Amino acid sequence: MPDPGLFGRLHRGGGRTRFCGREGPLSSDRRGYERDPGGGLMDEAVPSEPLPFAEILRSRVWLRLVLGQIYEFQSTIFQPVGGMDMIARAFVREIGSLIRYNAKVTAIKQDDKHVTVTYVDARTGGAPMTAAADWCLCTIPLSVLDQIDLDVGAPMMNAINAVPYGAAAKIGLQFKRRFWEQDERIYGGITYTDLPIWQIGYPNTNYGGPGKGVLLGAYVFDSPYAYEFTALPPEDRLKKAIE
């Protein structure tokens, strides 16, 4: 019988249950074959066996696949050419001479007229330094701010203390070669797992490039695993992700 083509096969296949649930050309058109289709004198394609439906449900993969549909993660997502760093670099380009690096703020004091910020050099330590101004626009995270010596009233202090932060960890892993492309034929995209790392993100630039490549080796948030990762020092996070 002539091959009716993909649409014919889908049409004849009917409902979803048959499409997902059974071994055969319909399901293998989507999920792949035990032995791939070829031509000429090659053996016939052998369909692969679908995972049991219950196993797919149990994997909770659905929770991950719908991430892009979360209200605050709108589907239209752009990325700066060259990476997120380019935003910070643009600030440096415009106002670079005003930026003082490695200034770790230890106190923020204010009176009716001025604000005085005390800071130390985060690399060398040394004697505290101060900077005074009419106003201070402070963007230190509240979970750090509540550990700093502050001149604020009780309602403000209560508000600073009241805001919890989510735990989240991302881990970049650099490898000597892009083995996911060379060995697995994976170009960009995400692998969702049920492991503590949650997901692996593949670089969507420089496909097929020789030499080193960086993977997002873990991206985990809002879960006990996120607390496990964020409680570890960076070198132990790396070990855990590679494991």
Ligand X SMILES: Cc1cc2nc3c(=O)[nH]c(=O)nc-3n(C[C@H](O)[C@H](O)[C@H](O)COP(=O)(O)OP(=O)(O)OC[C@H]3O[C@@H](n4cnc5c(N)ncnc54)[C@H](O)[C@@H]3O)c2cc1C
Q: Which residues bind ligand X (CB under 6 A)?
A: 104-105, 139-141, 144, 168-170
CB-wise, 129 or 144, nearer to ligand X?
144
| CB-CB contact of 199 with 191 (8 Å) | yes
Q: Least distance in Å: CB of 13 to ligand X?
A: 38
Q: Least distance in Å: CB of 168 to ligand X?
A: 4
Place of tokens 């005074």: 132
Q: Least distance in Å: CB of 147 to ligand X?
A: 8
Enumerate residues 6+ apart whose C-beta is below 8 A from 177.
210, 211, 212, 213
CB-wise, 103 or 186, nearer to ligand X?
103
CB-wise, 181 or 240, nearer to ligand X?
240
Dihedral, 24, 29, 35, 40 alpha carbons, nearest 10 = 110
Task: Give the CA distances from residue 209 to residues 184, 191, 200, 206, 212, in Å, rounded to whole numbers and listed in that order.
Answer: 15, 20, 19, 5, 8
Q: Least distance in Å: CB of 169 to ligand X?
A: 5
Q: Least distance in Å: CB of 34 to ligand X?
A: 38
- Tell how far CA 6 is from the center of its chain: 35
Q: Least distance in Å: CB of 186 to ligand X?
A: 21
CB-wise, 61 or 168, nearer to ligand X?
168
Place of tokens 């590679």: 242
Name the DSSP class of 199: E
CB-wise, 180 or 198, nearer to ligand X?
198
Task: Give the CA distances from residue 37 to residues 29, 33, 34, 42, 47, in Å, rounded to whole numbers and listed in that order.
Answer: 10, 8, 9, 8, 9
CB-wise, 115 or 140, nearer to ligand X?
140
